[in-house]
Every structure is written in C-alpha cells, then in structure tokens.
Structure 1
Amino acid sequence: MNLKSRLTILSFLQFFIWGIWLISLGGYMFANFNNPIDPNLGSKVGNTYGTMGWASLFMPALIGIIADKYIRAEIMLGISHIIAGAGLYYASTVTNAGDMYWAIFFVSCFYMPTIGLSNSVSYSLLSKQNLDVQKTFAPIRVWGTVGFIVAEWAVDLLGWTQNNNQFYFAAVAGIITGLYCFTLPRIETSKSTEKKSFATRLGLDAFQLFKSPMMTKFFLFAMFLGAALQITNMFGNPFLGDFGKTTEYAESFAVKHSNILISLSQISETLFILAIPFFLKRFGIKQVMLISMIAWVLRFALFGLGNPGTGLSLLILSMIVYGMAFDFFNISGSLFVDREAKPGIRASAQGLFMLMTNGLGAILGGIFAGQVVDYFTDAAGVKDWPSIWYSFAAYSLVIAILFFVTFKYKHDPNSLKSLEH
C-alpha cells in the first residue's frame, strides 16, 4: 500500500473515533443522568464539553515536545490513541455527570493532541518522499471528515446514540487506530542541539502578537466566536431528542435519526471548503470572517424556528449554513494569522489561534451555553428551546456587529493570488 493510501486511512480513523461520541454525548447525558431531574444538567453537559478546551490549553504542546525530542511521533500518536481509548472504555461505565466530566477530560488530554500530531506525522512522511505537502495533504484530510460522518451514521443506525455502546465502539476504534500508527514509517526524533527555552517549545513566543492592537482584537474575537463552535455539538442532539416527547414528532426522521440529520453539517463543511478561495479573492479575509459570524446567527436562529415536521426544511438549512459558519472563520482566520505573523513564529501563532478558539473559546462556550440551557429549563426539566437558540443567535449577532465596527483591515486582492490555484 502506498504512503498516500496509508495516510488516508489514518485521517479517516482519526476523526472516525471523534464522530462516534462527540455529537451524541450531550443527548446521552440527558437521557441517562437526569433521573431524578437535575436542574443544573445543562451546565454539567457544557462543562463536560469544555474539558476539550482545558485539555487543548496544555496537552498538545506537551505531547508535541515529547514527540519532537524523546518518542518518535508515530509511536507517540499510537500511544495517545490507545490511552484515549482506555478512557473511552471507562466513560462507558460511569453513571453520573460528575464522573463523566473527569472521564471526558482524561480522554481529551490524550485525544485532542492527536489531531495536530496526526497532521504533523502526515506532513513529515510526505516531505520525506519529496511530495508537495500542501497539494497532497488536502485530499487526504478530506477523508477525516468522511470518517466523522460515517461514524455519526453508524452510531445512529445502530441505535447507540443514547446508550453506552457508543463508548465501547469508540474505545475499540481508538485502540485499533493506535496499533495502526505503530505500523507507519519511522519518523526520527530531532537531533538538533539548538538551545530553546521551555517557553519557546510551548509556543509562547507567539504571544508577542498581542503587542499589535489589531491582532489583540482578532484573537479576542477568535475566542468569543470559538465559544459558539461546540454549542450545537453539545445540545443539537438533546434538542432534537426532546421533540420525541410529543406524539406529533415522536416517529419523525429528525428524532429517530438525529445524528444523520446533524451529519449534514459536516457534509456541508466539506463543500464550503471548496468555495473559500473564491470568497477570499472576491471579498477579502475580514468580509469572509464577517460572513461566518452572520452564518452563526442563522445557524442558531434556524434551530429556534425549526421542528421535525413543517419546520424540517429550516433545520436542514441550518445544517447547510453550518459549513459556511465553521469553515469561513477557521480557515480564513488561520490564513490571516499566517500572513500577520513573522516567519519565525508562524507555527506558534497557529497554535495560539487554536488555543484561543478550541481552548479558551471552548471553555467559555461550555460554561455560557450550559448556563443558558439551565436558565430556560423549568422545574419539571422542560426546556424552552426556541429561547435557548435565539439567545445564542443574539450572542453571535452582537459579536458580528462589534467585529464589523471595531476590526479594521484593508482587503488586498493581489495578496490572495495563490488561492486561485
């Protein structure tokens, strides 16, 4: 099997594991940890998802240092997947929200670093074969999204979205992925004798970007928008599941196959990636990021308006909008950081961008979203979902308006010529 095929399998498995449980975890917790009714369960679900943010603050850097200096990257990747798989097995055994918090925190500490590490392994192996990394890696990475979607469908069709089989499944997938990593070609650890401070190794040099008022504003907006990234992952499944409590919608497709409906979001994501070069060339980075924020407003507002019956088309439209909301900010934001950072700190700057969105942003989003859900939940456990989603839409709208008014950046179409190819 050639290298491209082997890395395609790695990419597929990498995100297949995550797709098994990420979307259905919230619904699982509401279905299994809410008897007797817990008025604070929304916050507990949000905080559990927030553990991915806490883990992203420090574990990718630490495991990256180990992979650079002490344990070969492909071996470290395999070890991390196996340990995360063991954590997922433990998650299948817990019976309360408190223990699930610590189980997912443990899983996140070893799974979240594998996202960047698997990319690094692919880059290194492709470079060793003198292949064009940027050109070759894109079609490989697309199979990661395909893996995520296949996992969502599998869990849905097997009827595991609200039982612990999903964690057994994810644990087995994680261990298989770890063993597969051990079969990849060797990536030698760095033999460089260059002295680097611990701060430099952790990527803290990128914090010098905060000296620029424009970059400070950008990273703050990245954090606040990052708070929105996981909200529908947390509560999309519980939201659709609650429609099943009424006879009108109990047998509807959206209730019976909520994971499949939500997977349209990831399908949309793969399609909007292809549109980014056109939008960046035509409108510029600032406008594309603003379009993303407006798309988040629509994503949440359409959830508030939709239902599994006459409002199914609105739910589907919300899933389609997600691709624009997610891709346009993450990719254009990454390009913006790459352009504004000096060559010596570009990798660290990308790490800082991820820290602000998937680290601090995810933590903020978990806390904020959980409290909003609890606020609109009555003593009987009934949630006012339209008010919940409209609150998130209002939050995104405020962010968009502030970004439009305060973030000044002039579009230079000539600087994006490379995106035409």
Structure 2
Amino acid sequence: MNLKIRLILLSFLQYAVWGAYLTSMGRYLGNLGLGTHIGWFYSMQGVVSIFMPAIMGIIADRWIASQKVLGLCHLFAGIFMIATAYYGYLAGTDTQFGIIFTLYSLSVAFFMPTIALSNSVAYFCLTDAGLDTVKDFPPIRVFGTIGFICSMWFVDIMKFQIDQNQFVTSGILSIILFLYTFTLPNCTTVKDGKQKTLAEVFGLKAFALFKQRKMAIFFIFSMMLGVSLQITNGFANPFIFSFGADPQYASTFGVQHANILISLSQISETCCILLIPFFMKRYGIKNVMLIAMFAWVLRFGLFGLGNPGSGVWMFVLSMLVYGVAFDFFNISGSLFVDKSTEPDIRSSAQGLFMLMTNGVGATIGTLAAQAIINTYTHAEVVDGNILTVGDWPTCWFIFAGYALLVGITFALVFNPKEKAI
C-alpha cells in the first residue's frame, strides 16, 4: 500500500478515537447524574498532557520504536476506555464519580501521548522515504480531522450520545489502531548518544524565555486564552440538549443531533487553516491573535443568544467562528514561537506553548467553567433523561466577557517588534 495512504489511515484512526467522545461525553455524564463533575473529566486531559507525552517521548526516543509505543498506548487506552464504559453500563445512575473518573483518567493518560507519537511516526516515515514533511504532512493530517468528524457523526446517528457506547466506540477504534501499528514501518530509536536531556525533553530550558518581556507576555496571555479552549468541547452538547426540556425545541434537529451540529466547528477548523498564512503576512501576530480572541467572544456570545429553533442560525455561526478562534490562536501562536526563538531551544519553546495553553490554561478553564455552570444550572429529569437546565445564557456571557477582557488587555500590553512571517 502507498505510504501516504497508510499514514492517512493512521491519522484518520488517531483522531476518530478522540472524536467518539470528546464533544458528547458531557451529555452522557449528565445523564448519569454527574453533570456537576464534567469539568474534572475534561481537565484531566490537560493534567496528563503536562507530563505523559514527554515520558512516552523519552521511551520512544531511547528504548522502544515509536510505532510500538504508539500501539501500546492505544491498547491500554482502549482497554481502560472499554472498562469505563462497562462500569457505567453496570452502575447506571448509581455510578460513583471516583471509580468512573479513575478508569477514564487512566485511558486518557495513555491516549494523550499518542497525538504527538502519531505525528512522530508520520514524520519519520515521510523523511525515511525521502519526502518533504512540510509539504506532504498537512494533507495527511487533514484526514485526522475528517476521522474526528466521522466518529462524531457515527456516535450521533447511532444515538450513542447519551450512553456508554461512545466510550465503547472509542475503545474499539483504539484497539484497531493498536493492531494497525504492526503494519507500519519501523521507526528506529536514537543510538548515537545524542539523546536529549530530561530538561530538554520536558521543555524546562524554554522557561528562560520568560526573561524576555515580549515572550513572557505572550506565554502568559497564551495561558489566559487557553482557558477558553475546552469549554465548548465539554459543555456545548449538554447545553444544546438542555433545550429538550422545552417542548417547542425538543424535536428540533439541534437537540436530536447536537454532535452533527457541533461538527461544523471541526469542518470550519479544517478550512480556516488555509487562511493563516495570508493573515499572518498581512496583519502580523498581534492582530491575528486579537482576531482569535474576539472570535472567542463571538463563539460564546452566540451560544448565549441562540436556540435550536428560530435562533439556530446563531449556533451555526458560532460553529463557523470556532475555526477562526481555534486555528488563529493555536497555529499562529506556534508559528510566532518558531520565528521568535533560537534553533537550540525551539522544540522546548513549542512544548512550553502547549503546556501553557492545553495544559495549564485548559485545565483552569474547564474547572472554572464547571463552577460557573454549577452556580447557574441544575439537573432535571425530563422523559427519563437527566438534563442540565437553568440560566445557561448567563454562563456563556460570563465566558464571552472573560474573552473580551483578555482581548482588550492583550491589545494594550502586547507590542512585539515583528517582521512578516
């Protein structure tokens, strides 16, 4: 089989595993009566991202081939995810938070390193085949987002959004990917004695960048904007589903197929990647980051104003805005780090950027969002389903206000002397 097709299948499966539950898990947890704990489940992704990818990266660099580490991680992630589903199935509404959270956390601890590992495998295979990673990898990675979307749609159409079968789907896909890694080319480990030190692997050298005012401000605001990253992944689905408590919205497409509606966000994300080079060259990092920040304001504000009936266009617009909010922040930020650091510290700086955004920022954001939602909403049983109902608009407006405050402050404080990228 052609190498690019093999790597496309790898990317497709890698993100299909994640798409099976990432946007619908909140609804399932709410249906178990754990709606007040959703934030803990999403924050765990950020917590394990602080150390697990680095640990697995060390193993892949020094002792075990990357594709084998990738496969083993998916095997354990799949087993623990299926165990999470089985416990949820047996316990039902008597599910204990401590037990299901522990099983889920073990699964996520093994899954999160696979994102970087799958990239490493693809880079190695392309380079080994004499291909250009800059040119050939992006079209392969796009199929990861397609896999994510297909998985979301499958869970929606099969009516798995409200039960443990979304976890079963993810677990089965993980085990399939574990088996698939046996067919991939061998990625040799480093044998020349030039392995990275622990400080380099964990990105500790990059903390020296905080001595530079420009970079310190950038990383701090990256963390502050990272607060917004996982909020809609965790709470958009239960929010839209909550309209099921109102008879005029209960049968609308949005309530019945929230995952398909939310998948417009991922479709938008795929398209907006293509806009970044133009915007970066024309407007520079500060303005592109500001566009992202104010896009988050729109993302949250439109959720607060819309509904699945006559106001569904606001939901759709919010989904389309997500591509700008997510890509213009993550990709342009990564490019800025790449252009603003020396080669010997560049990889560590990228790790620090991910730590500040998807680690610290996203963890704080999901837990803070959970506290706000717990304050303004409550659980209510409707037609056998446990819905999280209440003053959702106030929650979304608080999130929008936060993003607006961050954006205004960033505009006043961050003034880099930048050149075109």
TM-score normalised by the chain length of structure 2: 0.94
Quote the residue 2:383 is aligned against. none
Q: Which runs of 5+ in 2 are unaligned?
A: 89-94, 381-387
The alpha-carbon deviation at position 378 of structure 1 amounts to 4.9
Residue matched to 1:78? 71
Deviations 1:37-71 (A, max 9, x none): xxxx43x1111110001100000000000000011
Gaps of 5+ in 1: 35-40, 417-421
The equivalences for 1:247-262 within 5 A come to 247-262=247-262
Q: Is the 8 A contact 2:202 2:351 kept in 1?
A: no
Residue 122 of structure 1 deviates from its aligned partner by 0.5
Contact between 2:265 and 2:320, CA under 8 Å: does it hold in 1? yes
Match in the other structure for 1:48:
41
Matches of 2:221 and 2:178, distance apart in 1: 36
CA distance in 2, matches of 1:312, 1:382: 18
Aligned to 2:239: 239
Following superposition, the deviation at residue 377 of structure 1 comes to: 2.0
Give yes or no for the alignment of 1:108 onto 2:144.
no
Q: Distance in 2 between matches of 1:378 and 1:140?
A: 43
Alpha-carbon distance change, 279 to 72 in structure 1, aligned in 2, over 3 angstroms:
same
Matches within 5 A, 1:5-154: 5-34=5-34, 41-42=35-36, 44-92=37-85, 93-94=87-88, 95-154=95-154
Moved over 4 A (4+): 378-381
- Using a 3 Å threshold, how does the CA distance of structure 1 residues 184 and 70 change in structure 2: closer, same or farther? same
What secondary structure, in the 3-state scheme, does the structure 2 residue paired with 1:21 have? Answer: coil
State the shift of 1:379 in Å. 8.1
User: How far, CA to CA, are the matches of 2:360 and 2:304 in structure 1?
Assistant: 26
The AA in structure 1 aligned to 2:393 is: P
Q: Which amino acid aligns with 2:404?
A: L
Matches within 5 A, 1:280-295: 280-295=280-295
1:81-104 CA distance string (max 9 Å, x none): 111001111110232333232222
Residue 399 of structure 1: how far off its partner (Å): 0.6
How do 1:3-402 residues align onto structure 2 when only pairs under 5 Å count?
3-34=3-34, 41-42=35-36, 44-92=37-85, 93-94=87-88, 95-194=95-194, 196-378=196-378, 382-402=389-409
Q: Distance in 2 between matches of 1:368 and 1:137?
A: 36
Deviates most, 163-172 or 95-104: 95-104
CA distance in 1, matches of 2:239, 2:25: 13
Question: How far apart are residue 202 of structure 1 and its match?
Answer: 2.3
Distance across 1 between alignment mates of 2:174 and 2:48: 18
Question: Could you tell me which amino acid in structure 1 is paired with residue 226 of structure 2?
Answer: G
2:187 maps to a residue whose letter is I
Shift of 1:207: 1.3
Query: Matches of 2:278 and 2:128 in 1, distance apart?
Result: 32
Identity %: 51
**Deviation (angstroms), 1:212:** 1.0
Distance in 1 of aligned mates of 2:83 and 2:211? 44
Q: Is the 8 A contact 1:225 1:399 kept in 2?
A: yes
Deviation string 1:267-309 (CA, Å, 9 cap, x unpaired) is 0001111111111111111100110000000000000000011
Question: Relative to structure 1, is the Cα distance of residues 195 and 393 closer, same or farther in structure 2, using a 3 angstrom cutoff?
Answer: closer
TM-align CA RMSD: 1.3
Distance 1:345 1:129 in 2: 27
What TM-score do you get using the length of structure 1 for normalisation?
0.94
What letter is aligned with 1:405? Answer: L
Q: How many residues align?
A: 407
1:155 corresponds to which letter in structure 2?
V
Partner of 2:384: none
Equivalents in 1 of 2:84, 2:196: separation in Å? Answer: 38
Question: In the aligned structure 2, how far is the partner of 1:201 from the partner of 1:320?
Answer: 36
Give the distance between the partners of 1:313 and 1:196, measured in 2 at CA: 50
SS across alignment from 1:382: strand
Equivalence for 1:404: 411
Moved more, 213-222 or 386-395: 213-222
Q: Which residue of 2 aligns with 1:38?
A: none
8 A contact 1:226–1:357 mirrored in 2: yes
Looking at structure 2, the residues matched to 373 and 291 of structure 1 have their Cα atoms a distance apart, in angstroms, of 26
Aligned residue for 2:51, secondary structure, equals helix
